[in-house]
Structure 1
Amino acid sequence: MSGTAQTRNGPADRGDPAGRRGPAGGRPPHGVPQPIPQDPDRAAVQRRTVRVLMSAQVVGGIGMGSMLSSGSLLVGRLTGSEAAAGLATTSITLGAALLGIPLAALSRSRGRRAGLGTGWLLGAVGSLLVLAAARLGWFPLLLAGMLLIGSATAANLQARYAAADLAEDAHRARALSLVVWATTLGSVLGPNLSGPGEPVARALGEPEEAGTFVFSVGAFLIGWALIQLLLRPDPLLLAVATAPTTAARAGHPEPAAPFATRVTAALRHVRAAPEARLGLVAVVLGHAVMVSVMTMTPIHLAHDGAELKVVGFAISLHIAGMFALSPLVGRLTDRIGRVRVVLVGQVVLLAAAAVAGTAGGSRGAVVAGLFLLGLGWSCATVAGSTLLTESTAAAHRSEVQGLADTLMNLAGAGGGALAGGMVALIGYGGLNAAVVLLIVPVAVLALAPRRAD
């Protein structure tokens, strides 16, 4: 039917509210904006959008999980230094931070299909570079590949916002949380590909630790194909084209702007809306708290004599807290309000720090604290991301969301880098006490009497 009509010209699709066509009523030339359906069935398009995004998250998550399990080992092999092993995760995180805003700007000018698809495609290129570096034994090339793999992380994060582009207010958090939840399967399956990756690596003449990156290449390419072929019509372009006011559509699309200009513009839009400020601070500081504590918990457990299976169980429960319960968090966010769930998240993060920080020799308490840490992150991320999305005009959402993800990744990288030194100085309990300082600003903003939620 006309409500589900789709455009067919690939990434050049920009959406034309006026329904302009090319000469003689034919298809417009490449690069010319194409028409958005005149009477779209938004509910049907939204359902399709969420299904496609969830599918891409599952396969893309497998790609991320499969190589995260062996990236540090591969760095250790090439450098001969265990101390350098952390550079794998750090490089991926920095890559996600550096590429978050450019990918979001691409989404703004050409739609989610271009932004998300490019993120997954660059992730595949990065995985190929890692495989080449492993064969050649060239460490700088390995780091370059890891940086590009960060684009897949950025696409993974920005997909949750794409689920909210066309969502109704009453169901926006639920849609966003379903895409977050879809990451769970890949996060669980991916690390288990280390074993099958060894014979694959041997067959290709690669180090055994590099085998999982072969799976990453395939997974990222499948994610790219799903987005390119099935994410039609583009949800962001449709949201902008059908926005209820011309003000909401102002400035879309725009010529490419310098990186600093895009950052400044995104910050200006955030400053203009109290809800956006709260959403940004909640997702950034919540991520910093989570990464800081999570990074050092496996080491703390290992130093306490815990077996590897205990450490693995703790990480599994942590991932379950982050992703598996996100649909429930989304429903709660739609039911009781975004600000209240942000506050719930801060309470849960505080409880996590208290339980883990005072656990002493109790491994069960540390594991429980790590689960609560993931759940608090989920509350802050789902509710904060929903606030950020709905308090920003459709034409400017993608760059504001890209700014949020960039700051999230920078905060995570900073928190993870500082956590080791803090544990050396003040211990694991001291680290948990210190991260409470990051909870305070979010709670203050959420309790400020400036809105009725």
Structure 2
Amino acid sequence: MMRNRMKKKDAQSALIQSYIGSSEKQQQLYKKTLIVVILSQIFGGAGLAAGITVGALLAQDMLGTDSVTGIPTALFTLGSAGAALFVGRLSQRYGRRFGLASGFLAGGLGAIGVVFAALTNNIFLLFGSLLIYGAGSATNLQARYAGADLAGSRQRAQAVSMAMVSTTFGAVAGPNLVGVMGNFATSIGIPALAGPFLLAASAYILAGLVLLILLRPDPLIVAKAIATAQKTDSKLQVAGNSDTFLLNKRGVFAGAAVMVFTQFVMTAIMTMTPIHMGHYGHTLQAVGLVIGFHIGAMFLPSLVTGYLVDKIGRAVMAIASAVTLLVSGIVAALGSADSMVALVTALVLLGLGWNFGLISGTAILVDATSTSTRAKTQGSVDVGIALSGAIGGGLSGLVVAHFSYGILSIACGIFSLLLIPIIIWARIGKHKEPSQIQVTENSI
């Protein structure tokens, strides 16, 4: 058995080594990785959307009160934040395949736990399972990094955008299957509201298995091997292109700030828009229409955004994100609350600004990190993204309660402009640190 294990390890090492000197094989693996990630993201999107659609309703039904309807979202977000760190560290140590598959499988187990909680009417099991279920959301977000591991500097944003677009298909399908899964659950003796979690469990587990089986060889492990080979090349050492110089701290901060700020602004305004519309007599159908346009704007433009980020630069698109969010806030604040056109316009701009920010910020972060720390750093940043969304959603209610929806929207728009001096600061820092320019010339 030991001999077979050694042979298997040697064969795997030889396979990884075969990619180091062949740019053609690297491109082939890059394209294969994108296909596998896209497939997993379709399932992952369905798992994410199907479950969160009815989580609050299930808690309300089990306890018979509205006072706990916010707890599922809070637990889901907290679980997502913790899992982001866990998945990032697993990926850094064992590769994307193991890290991402573990996250999706954990999300699937959490969804199964929710179903058992509904069957046994156990609220503590429900809350604990929702916490674990959040791992699927974190993994769904981190999978975008896997496609960029072997991408060239002018391909990274497009690789991220492909993963995001593929998430849309599952995210759209999930909520539309809520009724079907509810009927199926009832037919087998499970509460109807637990039905979508059956879909979520199946989708997350399938996403995990797709990655576990098909993501071979692991793109991050291959990228590490390539970086190690480059590091030992004497010519590259003379040029200062050593792995020890591959951490651009300003670039990491700038990329993280872009994603954290845009997540905060987007979540704050989006969370309170349905409440705002309800105060002015809009129907649930109208609310669904506005949020539907918003979600579409968050993901569907990704391919174009990725192309623009790679073509005209990370900094330009990050600044475009801030400006778009500002315009969204102004339209939301000054537009008539009775006008569906104004509301849709504001929320579409909000989704588009978030899209610009997430893709440009991700590209900046990937550019600014080395393979030796990349996955761990990405996981830590995604923790910040999850927490910023939770804080934005929580603070938005307080602002609207004490002031107004208009004040919230304007304040969020102005807040987003803080990204502009951060991006300028990061660009200035890049030119002051020539040892980092060799390897991060496209980072900002």
TM-score relative to the length of structure 2: 0.89
CA 331–172 in structure 1, closer or farther in 2 if over 3 Å, else same: same
Contact 2:246 2:368 in 1 (8 A): no
- The yes-or-no answer on 1:432 pairing with 2:409 is yes
Match of 1:222 among 199, 202, 206: 206
Q: Give SS of 1:305's match.
A: coil
1:319: Cα distance to partner? 0.8
1:24: Cα distance to partner? 11
Q: Give SS of 2:287's match.
A: helix
Partner Cα distance (2:88, 2:361) in 1:
18
CA 183–35 in structure 1, closer or farther in 2 if over 3 Å, else same: same
CA 138–23 in structure 1, closer or farther in 2 if over 3 Å, else same: closer
CA deviation vs aligned residue, 1:45-89 (integer Å, no higher than 9, x gap)? 000000000000001111111112111110111122223212222
CA 230–358 in structure 1, closer or farther in 2 if over 3 Å, else same: same
CA 43–380 in structure 1, closer or farther in 2 if over 3 Å, else same: same
Partner Cα distance (1:332, 1:348) in 2:
15
Aligned twin of 2:31: 47
Return the letter of the residue paired with 1:403.
Answer: S
CA 37–71 in structure 1, closer or farther in 2 if over 3 Å, else same: same
Partner Cα distance (1:22, 1:387) in 2:
44
Aligned twin of 2:399: 422
Match of 1:413 among 390, 393, 396: 390
Return the letter of the residue paired with 2:7.
Answer: G
Return the letter of the residue paired with 1:179.
Answer: A
1:34: Cα distance to partner? 4.4
Aligned twin of 1:378: 355
CA 23–124 in structure 1, closer or farther in 2 if over 3 Å, else same: closer
Q: Which runs of 5+ in 1 are unaligned?
A: 1-20, 252-267
Contact 1:36 1:241 in 2 (8 A): no
Q: Which runs of 5+ in 2 are unaligned?
A: 20-24, 432-443
Q: How does 1:236-251 map to 2 (within 5 A)?
A: 236-243=220-227, 244-246=230-232
Partner Cα distance (2:78, 2:41) in 1:
21
Contact 2:87 2:379 in 1 (8 A): yes
CA deviation vs aligned residue, 1:124-146 (integer Å, no higher than 9, x gap)? 11001101111111112111111
Q: How does 1:85-124 map to 2 (within 5 A)?
A: 85-124=69-108
Partner Cα distance (2:6, 2:98) in 1:
26
Partner Cα distance (1:187, 1:24) in 2:
41
Aligned-CA RMSD value: 2.2
Return the letter of the residue paired with 1:48.
Answer: K
1:436: Cα distance to partner? 2.9
Partner Cα distance (2:102, 2:45) in 1:
16
Partner Cα distance (1:249, 1:49) in 2:
26
Partner Cα distance (1:277, 1:414) in 2:
19
Contact 1:249 1:394 in 2 (8 A): no
Aligned twin of 1:18: none
Q: How does 1:70-149 map to 2 (within 5 A)?
A: 70-149=54-133
Contact 2:42 2:169 in 1 (8 A): yes
Partner Cα distance (2:324, 2:231) in 1:
39
Aligned twin of 1:37: 16
Equivalenced residue count is 414
Structure showing the higher helix proportion among its residues: 2
CA deviation vs aligned residue, 1:179-232 (integer Å, no higher than 9, x gap)? 011111111111011110222221232221111111111111110110011111
Match of 1:350 among 318, 322, 326: 326
- The yes-or-no answer on 1:62 pairing with 2:31 is no
Partner Cα distance (2:418, 2:74) in 1:
26
- The yes-or-no answer on 1:173 pairing with 2:157 is yes
CA 43–309 in structure 1, closer or farther in 2 if over 3 Å, else same: same
1:273: Cα distance to partner? 2.3
- The yes-or-no answer on 1:398 pairing with 2:375 is yes
Partner Cα distance (1:152, 1:406) in 2:
14
Partner Cα distance (1:22, 1:358) in 2:
72
Contact 2:327 2:413 in 1 (8 A): no
Partner Cα distance (2:246, 2:180) in 1:
47
Greater than 3 Å deviation, 4+ residue runs = 21-25, 32-36, 246-251
Contact 1:241 1:249 in 2 (8 A): no
Partner Cα distance (2:190, 2:5) in 1:
56
Partner Cα distance (1:322, 1:22) in 2:
51
Return the letter of the residue paired with 2:189.
Answer: G
Return the letter of the residue paired with 1:382.
Answer: I
CA deviation vs aligned residue, 1:265-324 (integer Å, no higher than 9, x gap)? xxx997x52222110100011101111111111111122111122111111111111100
Q: Give SS of 1:242's match.
A: helix
- The yes-or-no answer on 1:210 pairing with 2:187 is no
Q: Give SS of 1:306's match.
A: coil
Contact 1:301 1:363 in 2 (8 A): no
Partner Cα distance (2:27, 2:264) in 1:
35
Return the letter of the residue paired with 1:55.
Answer: L
Partner Cα distance (1:431, 1:347) in 2:
16
Return the letter of the residue paired with 2:404.
Answer: G
Contact 2:53 2:175 in 1 (8 A): yes
1:39: Cα distance to partner? 2.7
Return the letter of the residue paired with 2:17.
Answer: Q
TM-score relative to the length of structure 1: 0.87
Partner Cα distance (2:412, 2:12) in 1:
48
Contact 2:326 2:417 in 1 (8 A): no
Match of 1:368 among 345, 348, 355: 345
Q: Give SS of 1:37's match.
A: helix
Contact 2:323 2:417 in 1 (8 A): no
Aligned twin of 1:190: 174
Partner Cα distance (2:7, 2:344) in 1:
62
